[in-house]
Amino acid sequence: MTNVENSVVRFENVGMRYGAGPEVLRDVTFTLPPASFHFLTGPSGAGKSSLLRLMYLANRPSRGVVSIFGKDVTQISRRALPALRRNIGVVFQDFRLLEHQSVFDNVALPLRVAGGNEEQIRKHVSELLRWVGLEKSIENLPSTLSGGEKQRVAIARAVIGRPRLLLADEPTGNVDDAIAMRLLYLFEELNRMGTSVVIATHNETLISRFEHRQLHLDQGGIEYRQNGAGSRDAASA
């Protein structure tokens, strides 16, 4: 179904455990092609966050193969990870904004880390903050923002570097439906520009409004689901 060589993400019999604890992911196998859009669903404790952590390279698997942009992350050195991570945008469930930095500096961070030109950074960040409706909060600290505003800052930070892969953990959890839809349209826009998107969510209403496929996790295993038709595919492509 998917060309493995060109895949953005490929998991092959992946198992993961934290320390000496039980496996939270078992024999997970799937492939995400370029410019794909998936919802990652499953009950609480199914391992959605662990799966995302493996995809944004916060952890390495206990077993199996995880390949990101065609590179086996179980084999590459630590020094090679930053270059891969710069192509991955992450919206954390708890935002993880730098509380001592302004909204502008938080959003500019990925570009600065990558050594971007300050003038260009100013232009792009201002433009994006205007797009997500935070142009008036540009100099504010995150502590002065509402939950929804923080979430938009987190999303802006995740997408500012035009990542090839965007991962979002419950990105619409703190916003009303109108803003949630607007954020999803932003993700779709990025997806149309070639970014592969994976959104972990519990929001069934939101999922039902889009015809994207689901990666459904349950008891550590994974299966594909097609939205709307209610069909289920085998997870391994």
Partner 1 sequence: MLLQRSDLPLSDDPAVRILPWIVGLMVYLATLTLAVALLVSTLTANWSAGLTGTVTIHIAVINDESEAVMNRRVEEAIRLSLKTPGIDAARAIPSDEVAALLAPWLGDEAPIADLPLPRIVDVTLTPDSTVDVAGLSARLKAEIPGAGLDDHQLWRDKLVDFLLAIQVVAVLMVVLIGATTVTVVIFATRSGLAVHNEVIDVLHLIGARDEYVAHQFQANALKLGLKGGFAGSIGGLLTLIVIRYTASELDIELFPTHLFQIWHWPVLASVPIIAASIVRFSARHTVLRALRRMP
Cβ atoms of 84 and 71 within 8 Å: the answer is: yes
Q: Which stretch binds partner 1 (CB under 8 A): 83-91, 137-145, 182-190, 208-216?
A: 83-91
Q: How far is the CB of 126 from partner 1 (least distance, A)?
A: 17
Q: Choose among 35, 62, 73: nearest CA to 195.
A: 35
Rule CB under 8 A: is residue 37 a binding residue for partner 1?
Answer: no
Rule CB under 8 A: is residue 114 a binding residue for partner 1?
Answer: yes
Looking at residues 136 to 175 of the shown chain, list those that interact with partner 1 (rule: CB under 8 A): 157, 161
Q: Which stretch binds partner 1 (CB under 8 A): 2-10, 103-111, 168-176, 184-192?
A: 103-111
Cβ atoms of 25 and 220 within 8 Å: the answer is: yes
Among 11, 37, 39, 56, binds partner 1 (CB under 8 A): 56
Euclidean distance between CA atoms 88 and 195, whole angstroms: 9
Among 45, 82, 133, 194, binds partner 1 (CB under 8 A): 82
Given the complex with partner 1, which of 74 and 227 has the nearer CB atom? 74
Q: How far is the CB of 111 from partner 1 (least distance, A)?
A: 10
Cβ atoms of 25 and 50 within 8 Å: the answer is: yes
Among 1, 4, 98, 234, binds partner 1 (CB under 8 A): 98
Q: Where are the beta strands (DSSP E) in the chain?
A: 9-17, 23-32, 37-41, 63-68, 71-72, 88-91, 165-169, 196-200, 213-218, 221-225, 232-233
Q: How far is the CB of 40 from partner 1 (least distance, A)?
A: 18
Rule CB under 8 A: is residue 122 a binding residue for partner 1?
Answer: no
Q: Is the dihedral of CA 22, 232, 65, 40 positive or negative?
A: negative
Looking at the DSSP bridge assignments, the partners of residue 198 are: 38, 167
Cβ atoms of 57 and 48 within 8 Å: the answer is: no
Q: Choose among 84, 82, 80, 54: nearest CA to 69.
A: 84
Classify 177 as helix, strand or coil. Answer: helix
Q: How far is the CB of 89 from partner 1 (least distance, A)?
A: 8
Q: How far is the CB of 25 from partner 1 (least distance, A)?
A: 16
Q: Which stretch binds partner 1 (CB under 8 A): 62-70, 96-104, 142-150, 186-194?
A: 96-104
Among 12, 15, 17, 59, binds partner 1 (CB under 8 A): 59
List residues near partner 1 by CB under 8 A: 56-60, 78-79, 82-83, 85-86, 90, 96, 98, 100-101, 105, 109-110, 112-114, 157, 161
